Structure 1
């Protein structure tokens, strides 16, 4: 997977990966291992001929005219193959130093970069030294800063370079001494250290994504073929979980890198870069470490390539700062009220939809509040992605526009809760009579639903359920026990799975029933949870009769229907507001600098969780199926909510015992979120599923 989403970016990434691999870059890196002055000239010439240094240089300056995202896609692909040389520094210069655009595009300029402004201006001279300069050997131009935060392009003839070998063997660094007149150098106006570092972090995040992607792929491939105890190590749950966690981190890195390259200039770009600094730089190091762990002793050898990726990731982090450093800056932004607000460019395609929808939303907004729901249902705007006549069969673009127009008109759609799972199954698999009876009534709030799926012995392993349905005259009689059922005490109807054929394999012989919760033989018993509330219930079914017309779809085919229920989601955009606990943490951190690093990590993860949703939405707009980010969104979202709620309790400190309303709410949230890694499939089971279905590891 590439950080690019469009077909063009995916094609660009694939093409560049193949081209980069054809250069055999690792051989070049290993051959130059002990040469501090190695400039990887042959590799760099190939990069120039491919047009990468000028990819984002405007066409008017003889460049490729590409975007920052185009450049990030290219950097990700090249990093995945460990292409050596000054591409990162030169790419940054192509964005920051317009005067060099034509020379960079033509390959006549090769850039070195010193990220710390340590030179001095005295009179008409620029003097001093920069201890660490990226890609100094072989550079024709040096982008260096002075202690007054002025930045200069210094020609190579005016510097003296002492070359050094760094942990990252794909780059060379150097100590650079400068003694030049100001007339011999070019001042880069409108560039300061903050902008430079922001650009470097955004581009380094793209490289981090490429590093992490290679490490994940290498680990998975090894886990598939390496055998221990007579079977592939990828069949061991410990390895599955390790690889699934690598996948989670990779998706987070990719989302953050994509956003850092896509965000509009200004505060939004700065916020996105800080998120990328928190997520991508630490994340790439962790994934590279885990890659070595999966490979075991093989990965620890110098001959294996994994350490080269770890070295590159560690060096990027060392030069640009750990996650804590960026998290501290991000917390300050959040405290000041900044949030990442992602907007979609519909390229004008939303105009006709808005013209059609806006009058409808205005009419609905003008109605009395108690009449709005009925009007939304009649117009198909309540669940526009549902098929007509209950919805509009709305495309992804249409759904987003409808949401936007309703929000702009101040019209809210009440949450139908479990009905949003039940009704799509009825629409797709039910009879005309079932659709007539249940769909509109659910939308109007006349029928509420609960879900009778989980059992004491069938939670994440839903296919092992034991509730049985025995054929009776005119229908079925259900007997069994369901558990963890929310809303059961108030619901009018339930969607219920029961085994109709005990002789069939686990995933077969299950049927999907619509169960009237007022039926004889139903006993609902509230379960008091650790919060003190009784949100969930046990439901006992004792010979409960369900008529044949309340079976959805074919008998014994309920498992397929259950998957429809669990998978049905509409396309929507997340708002700019962070999770409730993260917002609380931001407020509690104000004036407490010692808490900023931890709070910034929470802000970054919450932002990335929203970005995963944005990327899924953009895939839908592009007509693509869901990517891996949709599969790991729950895993990362659970971690986000649990960690953030725990953070709030920690920030409150002794106030937790004060009995205040704020303390009670924080403790309640921290206790409540413990269910999130259990409900809807435990984190451990979901990691098994991700490892097997997405990564292809053996059972």
Structure 2
């Protein structure tokens, strides 16, 4: 949950936070209130001795021999503890000039000299951020683009540190502060606010991490793109998290005695120093129109070398087959589902999965989408009988069987424990009666995975059983549900005394709740695509045809959010490659992804003005505005399907942040 993903970076951050705590940084900031002549010399001396600002310099130049990413990890840790006294300016100056020391840096013509007041300038200014002393503006002159990008990159790391402190502080307070006899963290409003803080903090951290990663790469175009994403996302994001922290803290957060306002001041000051987020967003639009996308190349540390040749040869062999034979070849090789156990997959570790993905993509082989089978079959693999695996797994992989999911009911959507469909024991099996709803592809499915209540006399979670239902069975009626798009992609399914034999019960009666939450222990990992998503790409196309400055900035913000969603997936994959379980990125990725898809599809329609009011036929497969309106309407389901956004925020609050129920 910080910029550093590797063990080494996490150890660096922990060490520096421990060191920074020993400095009494916040106490020094408070003691310096109103004293513009205070330059935090004692803290600077300690930082200089530690070499914090020179981590990215070569050892021959008096530095630590590290990378810009190493420096970003360090600055994030120091900002978490609100270390004052010019570390940011010194780090920027060290990278730009190649020399360590106490630097002041000017990023914009006529703008303040960052940390100039702690670097020895006589005209130190007393500003909003009580932990900094900036210098008076210097008029004239051109600012080197490398200076600006370096400044935004490292300032984004500080913004991440500020956001992390604010999130942690709010969550810890919400766990212990009681109102109405309960911890306030148990109230849904507070839980949602903290979950939203986590979403924003993860976005800030991912963008800051990526800007620092690309600063060390040779691709100037990619660095420029990543820096603009960071400028568009990180600073306003840190301000929002700081404001939300004060909101959770309530009255105590509004007092001068609490430290929360010091972090809000740092966040607002950083945002002012780096410049307009809209300007960065406009540059992103221009870059995207020109074909630039963020392409993340992951260093697998040589672990891929023993795997690469075989994966490439297999992928090339598959792509050389007729299209009709490629799916079967993917199944035979295990490349369709490499994370599944043999003989249906390869039990592939994360590195192997990434290599296979890369080589299939290079060869132009597209995996078919398993749709609901991707949820049903893992449950059968892990909990089913040998006979069930033999009967269902391979035919499903080959596309010979189509599945639907019969979980939700009119009175039990996200709350599956409240489902009412009953299953009664009969000779040789069970009789199922009830209604299911929101079932995609049920009209053409061969089989359905179905939860039904088999014991009404035990606690709700214990009386549910997991059935495999033949959708051709007598007593099943499928009725289409017409959605707001005008199409019927979902169905409601009525089961009237439908017989399901015992050999179609997965695991034991009463195990249904546990099985419904099954995932394979070796989960799927994948690198994010460079594409921005359907609606964002469409918005970029519209921008290429010409938009006003306000609209161009809005498109750029959509590009930034879509890019961040991809970065979250990359960070999750890198954690897996490093042997770690998924972090908070994977938990908030759906929430941010839904926001991106919904807001970008709405933006596309807005960009086309009042023509939408006269749009007649709305069709998914149409061209232009008719298809755009269909997409805008259709994406409204994303914050409902698979658990509503509100329910997911409850889950994030409780399982990730540890807030009480």
Shift of residue 59 of structure 1? Answer: 2.1
- Cross-structure match for 1:561: 515
Choose which of 569, 572, 576 in structure 2 pairs with 1:620. 576
- Cross-structure match for 1:689: 651
SS of residue in 2 equivalent to 1:169: coil
Alignment of 1:162 onto 2:144: no
Alignment of 1:635 onto 2:591: yes
Shift of residue 575 of structure 1? Answer: 1.1
Choose which of 106, 109, 112 in structure 2 pairs with 1:117. 109
Sort the Cα spacing of 1:567 and 1:289 in 2 relative to 1 into closer, same or farther, 3 A. Answer: farther
Shift of residue 30 of structure 1? Answer: 0.4
The 5 Å alignment of 1:121-200 reads: 132-139=112-119, 161-175=122-136, 192-200=143-151
Alpha-carbon distance in structure 2 between the residues aligned to 1:608 and 1:455 = 35
Tell me if the contact between 1:421 and 1:566 (Cα under 8 Å) persists in the aligned partners: no
Tell me if the contact between 2:382 and 2:520 (Cα under 8 Å) persists in the aligned partners: no
- Cross-structure match for 2:58: 58
Tell me if the contact between 2:170 and 2:245 (Cα under 8 Å) persists in the aligned partners: yes
Tell me if the contact between 2:378 and 2:520 (Cα under 8 Å) persists in the aligned partners: no
- Cross-structure match for 1:40: 40
Shift of residue 530 of structure 1? Answer: 0.4
Shift of residue 658 of structure 1? Answer: 4.8
Tell me if the contact between 2:411 and 2:418 (Cα under 8 Å) persists in the aligned partners: yes
Once the two structures are superposed, what CA deviation does each residue of 1:57-76 show, in whole Å capped at 9, x if it has no partner? Answer: 11232321111111100000
Shift of residue 309 of structure 1? Answer: 0.3
Alpha-carbon distance in structure 1 between the residues aligned to 2:60 and 2:301 = 23
Sort the Cα spacing of 1:50 and 1:213 in 2 relative to 1 into closer, same or farther, 3 A. Answer: same
Once the two structures are superposed, what CA deviation does each residue of 1:374-417 show, in whole Å capped at 9, x if it has no partner? Answer: 12211111111110011111111111111111122222221121
Q: TM (normalized to structure 2)?
A: 0.96
Shift of residue 358 of structure 1? Answer: 2.0
Q: Which runs of 5+ in 2 are unaligned?
A: 617-621
**Higher gyration radius (CA):** 1
SS of residue in 1 equivalent to 2:123: strand
Alpha-carbon distance in structure 1 between the residues aligned to 2:398 and 2:139 = 75
Tell me if the contact between 2:85 and 2:118 (Cα under 8 Å) persists in the aligned partners: no
Shift of residue 685 of structure 1? Answer: 0.9
- Cross-structure match for 1:72: 72
Alpha-carbon distance in structure 2 between the residues aligned to 1:112 and 1:617 = 38
Choose which of 656, 661, 686 in structure 1 pairs with 2:623. 661
SS of residue in 2 equivalent to 1:507: helix
SS of residue in 1 equivalent to 2:465: strand
Alpha-carbon distance in structure 2 between the residues aligned to 1:486 and 1:658 = 27
Alpha-carbon distance in structure 2 between the residues aligned to 1:662 and 1:344 = 36
Alpha-carbon distance in structure 1 between the residues aligned to 2:469 and 2:75 = 55
Alpha-carbon distance in structure 2 between the residues aligned to 1:598 and 1:450 = 38
Choose which of 193, 196, 218 in structure 1 pairs with 2:169. 218
Shift of residue 329 of structure 1? Answer: 1.7
Runs of 4+ in 1 over 6 A off after TM superposition: 176-179
SS of residue in 2 equivalent to 1:137: helix
Alpha-carbon distance in structure 2 between the residues aligned to 1:566 and 1:544 = 30
Q: TM (normalized to structure 1)?
A: 0.91
Shift of residue 37 of structure 1? Answer: 1.6
Alignment of 1:392 onto 2:346: yes
- Cross-structure match for 1:340: 294
Alpha-carbon distance in structure 2 between the residues aligned to 1:139 and 1:282 = 27
Shift of residue 345 of structure 1? Answer: 0.9
Tell me if the contact between 1:242 and 1:290 (Cα under 8 Å) persists in the aligned partners: yes
- Cross-structure match for 1:257: 208
Alpha-carbon distance in structure 2 between the residues aligned to 1:337 and 1:465 = 49
Alignment of 1:450 onto 2:408: no
Shift of residue 168 of structure 1? Answer: 0.3
- Cross-structure match for 2:619: none
Shift of residue 11 of structure 1? Answer: 1.1
**Larger relative strand fraction:** 1
Shift of residue 504 of structure 1? Answer: 1.6
Shift of residue 232 of structure 1? Answer: 1.4
Alignment of 1:202 onto 2:182: no
Q: Which runs of 5+ in 1 are unaligned?
A: 119-130, 141-159, 180-186
SS of residue in 2 equivalent to 1:71: helix
Alpha-carbon distance in structure 2 between the residues aligned to 1:342 and 1:315 = 31
The 5 Å alignment of 1:82-93 reads: 82-93=82-93
Choose which of 528, 543, 551 in structure 2 pairs with 1:574. 528
Choose which of 491, 494, 497 in structure 1 pairs with 2:451. 497
Tell me if the contact between 2:482 and 2:490 (Cα under 8 Å) persists in the aligned partners: yes
SS of residue in 2 equivalent to 1:476: strand
- Cross-structure match for 1:604: 560
- Cross-structure match for 1:652: 608
- Cross-structure match for 1:150: none
Alpha-carbon distance in structure 2 between the residues aligned to 1:37 and 1:512 = 71
- Cross-structure match for 2:632: 670
Shift of residue 517 of structure 1? Answer: 0.4
Choose which of 484, 489, 497 in structure 2 pairs with 1:535. 489
Alignment of 1:510 onto 2:510: no
Tell me if the contact between 2:109 and 2:139 (Cα under 8 Å) persists in the aligned partners: no
SS of residue in 2 equivalent to 1:511: strand
Shift of residue 194 of structure 1? Answer: 2.1
Alpha-carbon distance in structure 2 between the residues aligned to 1:494 and 1:566 = 20
Tell me if the contact between 1:56 and 1:66 (Cα under 8 Å) persists in the aligned partners: yes
Aligned residues: 650
- Cross-structure match for 2:235: 281
SS of residue in 2 equivalent to 1:584: helix
Tell me if the contact between 2:94 and 2:103 (Cα under 8 Å) persists in the aligned partners: no
- Cross-structure match for 2:433: 479
- Cross-structure match for 1:248: 199
Alignment of 1:5 onto 2:5: yes
SS of residue in 2 equivalent to 1:413: coil
Choose which of 532, 548, 566 in structure 2 pairs with 1:593. 548
SS of residue in 2 equivalent to 1:66: coil
Shift of residue 326 of structure 1? Answer: 1.6
Shift of residue 343 of structure 1? Answer: 0.9
